[in-house]
Amino acid sequence: MSDLPVIRLRPKSKPQAIRHGFPWVFADEAVLDRRTKALPAGGMAVLEDPERKPLGLVTVNPHSKIIARVMDADPQAVIDGAWLQARLARALEMRERLYDAPFYRLVHAEADGLPGLVIDRFGDAAVMQPNAAWADAMAEQIADALVAVTGISTVVLNGQGRARGLEGLGERMEVICGSAPQAPVQVRMNGAIYLADLMGGQKTGLFYDQRPNHAFTQRLVAGGSVLDVFSHVGGFGLAGLAAGATSAVCVDGSAAALDLARGGAEAMGAGDRLEVMQSDAFKALEALAGQERQFDVVVCDPPAFAPSKPALDAGLRAYERVAKLAAPLVAPGGYLVLCSCSHAADLTAFRNVSARGIGRGGRRGVLIHTGQAGPDHPTLPQLAETGYLKALFFRLD
């Protein structure tokens, strides 16, 4: 028998959800004894149903609303280097089937059986985001397992972001294995070249999740112009240039991100076709309208306006405003691409406010495609949060 502490579900809880794959236990669903409350954040425990039947092994964080995350359906499992290597090897095997080059999201948290842990791979380097207490505590062991499974030489820990604050974790940024990259890493996707700053960039340095949506956009842009708003390092804009767009304008508030976009365009031999605007996105959209500029394809890929349910109403209003301001910038017969990475805003709500915003912008259109994140960002069906990304492709009149 395990000598680990026990967390038991309350009598009115639904253990079937856990048995069917839901990976979280919220604090108000569990009966917590003194020993469990005293556990260090990231400690392990056995989860039991109200009848004291084991449901699995969980990691506990008494400081989080998510009091427990399922690590393994086997309550006797041992979370050690061998266990980590097995999970990483399983994740790697799928990515190697999907991609010809080692540039992808290697671990997508709960959907890859490593709750709260994100790892993006950049060739011989990887950036990990330990957004759960257990992963933060075991960061060095995770890095060792990562090196053993993949053969990479550099592991960067990027411990920043809202998710860590919800776990009671402070910020940290360090190189765990190898040496810090001295220059941005070149990443080739869909024929474009992106520059990823692994030490100073946003999140892990690049957003792999939009890869299939970049590819779909490329089918619309040949011989036309592209406006990429909230462009970061040039995601949709550079993809458009790689597919034969005559010009691309990238709008972002970060000068550093736009410098990387310029560098990517130059590496592609397309520097003369790229224009950048450092500006607040809403002000840029208004300014471009004032100049009566129009583009064959307009893409708006903002940050999460609705990162949680309390922010949902305000977030949906912001998405509607984006659609309203962007729609007049689309040339007749052109395309408008609207994206949301807010898991709190489901597809139906996002589609509704986008359509309403287009109408308020004086345009009409049809929805021709709905995109999501690539397969290196698998969705756990029981956890809606893992299917956060939505991309709506409209053709406007």
Please list the active-site residues: 341
Query: 146 near 88, Cβ under 8 Å?
Result: yes
Among all chains, which residue has been given the structure tokens 């139906």?
348
Q: What is the dihedral of CA 36, 38, 41, 43, to 10 degrees?
A: -50
- Distance CA(236)–CA(226), nearest Å, equals 8
Sequence letter at residue 108: H
Q: Quick one: which of 260, 191, 263 has its CA closest to 231?
A: 260
Sign of CA dihedral 299, 302, 307, 313: negative
d(CA 49, CA 47): 7
> Residues 139-153, buried b or exposed e (16+ Cβ, 10 A)?
bebbbbbbbebbebe
Tokens of 301: 């890929």
- Listed in sequence order, the residues at least 6 apart from 77 whose beta carbon sits closer than 8 Å to its beta carbon are 57, 71, 83
- Residues 363, 50: Cα–Cα separation, whole Å: 56
Helix runs in the chain, H state only: 15-19, 34-37, 81-98, 133-137, 139-150, 162-166, 211-221, 235-242, 255-267, 281-290, 312-326, 347-360
The β-bridge partners of 37 are: none
Q: Based on C-alpha coordinates, what's the Rg of the chain?
A: 22
